[in-house]
Amino acid sequence: MMGMQTIAQELDVNVMDELAGRELEAAVLNKAAALLEEVIGHWEEDADHALLDNALKYNQGLWSVFQAELLDDSNPLPAQLRESILSLSSFVDRRIFEVMAYPEPAKLDILIRINRGLADGLMAH
């Protein structure tokens, strides 16, 4: 989980020390969703897309960590689940690049739902 710790460094240090495993993954997914929601809420004021760029970079970094961990042969998740999440991560990558090229706030909704849904699933187990 070293990669996830790196992504989580932007979280409050006290909170990060208390989180591990699935809780940490859920926390960073929820933060990614919150950053995207902030972009939507401030779309008109963010003319230079600084908030958007920050949120997309955070999401891209997070999903890159997931990809690396899922491709690691020592990952304990069942192969079918790993493949499903990798497929989802490919969609996330494509959507991030699409939003970078053609920014529209409505395109962020699916990324928010994916991040929140995965976070909810992690916390349910």
- Tens of pLDDT, residue by residue over 66-102, are 999 999 989 888 999 899 999 999 999 999 999 999 9
Work out the burial of residue 99: count CB atoms within 10 Å of its CB; fewer than 13 is exposed, 13-18 middle, 19 or more buried: buried
Distance CA 5, CA 108 (A): 25
Domain that holds residue 61: 2-124
- Give the predicted TM-score (pTM) of the model: 0.83
What is the count of structural domains for the chain? Answer: 1
pLDDT digits (tens, 9 = 90+) for 14-64: 444 554 678 888 999 999 999 999 999 999 999 899 999 999 999 999 999
CATH number at residue 89: 1.20.120
